[in-house]
Chains A and B, each alone.
Chain A
Amino acid sequence: MTWYVFDEPSGAFREAARRCTEAARERYRIDVVSLPADADQQREQLTRRLAAGDESIDIIGMDVIWTAEFAEAGWIREWPTRATRRASAGRFPIAVQTATYKNMLWATPFTTNVQLLWYRTDRIRKPPKTWDEMIELAEKLDRNNRIQAQGERYEGLTVLFVSLLASAGGKVLDADGSQVSLEPEPTRKALNVMKRLATSRAADPGLSTNREDQARLAFETGRSAFMLNYGFVWPSALQNAPEVAANMGWTRWPGVVPDRPSRVTVGGIDLAVSTYSRYPELAFDAAECLASKDNQRIAAERGGLPPTLYALYDHPAVRRRLPFADLLRATLKDAVERPRTPLYTDISLAISRTLHPMRDIKPARDAARLKKAVQRALRSEGLL
Chain B
Amino acid sequence: MRRAQNLKGWLLCAPALSAMALVTAYPVFYAVRLSLYRYDLRHTADPDFVALRNYFSVLSSEVWWQALWNTLLITTVSVFFELVLGFALALLMHRAVFGRSALRSAVLVPYAIITVVAALAWKFAFDPTTGFVNSLFGIERAWLNEHWSAFAVIIFSEVWKTTPFMALLLLAGLSLIPDDVLKAAKVDGASAVQRFRLITLPLVKPSILVALLFRSLDAFRIFDSVYVLTRGAHGTESVSVIGYNTLIVRLNLGLGSAVSVLIFSCTLAIALLFIKGFGTPLLRKD
Q: Which residues on A are within 8 Å of B, measured CB to CB?
A: 40, 44, 47-48, 51, 69, 72-74, 152-154, 204-209, 214, 217-218, 221, 342-343, 345-346, 349, 356-357, 380-384
CB of A154 within 8 A of CB of B145, answer no
Known: A73-B41, A153-B231. A206 touches B57 (CB 8 A): no
Can you list 27 contacts pairing A with B, beta carbon distance less than 8 Å? A40-B249, A44-B248, A51-B251, A69-B42, A154-B231, A205-B140, A206-B128, A206-B144, A206-B145, A208-B144, A209-B142, A209-B144, A209-B145, A214-B127, A221-B129, A342-B43, A346-B250, A349-B245, A380-B250, A380-B252, A382-B63, A383-B61, A383-B245, A383-B255, A383-B259, A384-B246, A384-B250
CB of B233 within 8 A of CB of A356, answer yes
Which of A51, A208, A217, A346 is B130 in contact with, Cβ under 8 Å?
A: A217
CB of A72 within 8 A of CB of B43, answer yes
Q: Which residue of B lies closest to A151 (CB)?
A: B145
* Contacts of B229-250 to chain A: CB distance below 8 A: 230-234, 242, 245-246, 248-250
Q: Could you say which residues of chain B place their CB within 8 Å of the CB of A209?
A: 127, 142, 144-145, 230, 233
A69 CA to B41 CA in the complex, in Å? 10
Q: Could you say which residues of chain B place their CB within 8 Å of the CB of A345?
A: 249-250
Q: Could you say which residues of chain B place their CB within 8 Å of the CB of A48?
A: 248
Residues 141-156 of B, flagged 1 when their CB comes within 8 A of A and 0 if not, give 1101100000000000
The reply to whether the CB of B40 lies closer than 8 angstroms to some CB of chain A is: yes
Q: B43 CB to closest chain A CB, in angstroms?
A: 7
Known: A73-B43, A381-B57. A208 touches B250 (CB 8 A): no
The reply to whether the CB of B44 lies closer than 8 angstroms to some CB of chain A is: yes
A383 CA to B63 CA in the complex, in Å? 7
CB of B232 within 8 A of CB of A384, answer no
The reply to whether the CB of B92 lies closer than 8 angstroms to some CB of chain A is: no
Q: Which residue of B lies closest to A153 (CB)?
A: B233
Tally of contact residues, B, Cβ under 8 A: 35
Q: Could you say which residues of chain B place their CB within 8 Å of the CB of A69?
A: 42
A384 CA to B246 CA in the complex, in Å? 8
Which of A72, A205, A218, A357 is B42 in contact with, Cβ under 8 Å?
A: A72
The reply to whether the CB of B160 lies closer than 8 angstroms to some CB of chain A is: no
A344 CA to B67 CA in the complex, in Å? 24
Q: Which residue of B lies closest to A73 (CB)?
A: B42
Q: Could you say which residues of chain B place their CB within 8 Å of the CB of A382?
A: 57-58, 60-61, 63, 255
Q: Which residue of A lies closest to B246 (CB)?
A: A383
Q: A163 CB to closest chain B CB, in angstroms?
A: 20
Residues 38-71 of B, flagged 1 when their CB comes within 8 A of A and 0 if not, give 0011111000000000000110110110000000
A206 CA to B127 CA in the complex, in Å? 7
CB of A205 within 8 A of CB of B142, answer yes
- Our count of residue pairs bridging A and B at CB distance below 8 angstroms stands at 91
A15 CA to B43 CA in the complex, in Å? 36
A380 CA to B53 CA in the complex, in Å? 13
Q: Could you say which residues of chain B place their CB within 8 Å of the CB of A357?
A: 145, 233-234
Please give 15 more A-B residue pairs, beta carbons under 8 A apart, in addition to A153-B232, A205-B145, A209-B142.
A51-B251, A73-B44, A153-B230, A209-B233, A214-B129, A342-B42, A343-B42, A345-B250, A357-B233, A382-B57, A382-B255, A383-B63, A383-B64, A383-B246, A384-B246
Which of B129, B245, B251 is A206 in contact with, Cβ under 8 Å?
A: B129
Q: A358 CB to closest chain B CB, in angstroms?
A: 11
Known: A209-B144, A357-B233, A382-B57. A349 touches B250 (CB 8 A): yes
CB of B41 within 8 A of CB of A384, answer no
A72 CA to B42 CA in the complex, in Å? 7
A311 CA to B24 CA in the complex, in Å? 58
Q: A225 CB to closest chain B CB, in angstroms?
A: 15
CB of A208 within 8 A of CB of B58, answer no
Which of B64, B234, B259 is A208 in contact with, Cβ under 8 Å?
A: B234
In order of increasing CB-CB distance, the 10 nearest A-B pairs are A153-B233, A205-B142, A383-B63, A383-B61, A73-B42, A51-B41, A209-B144, A208-B145, A205-B128, A382-B57
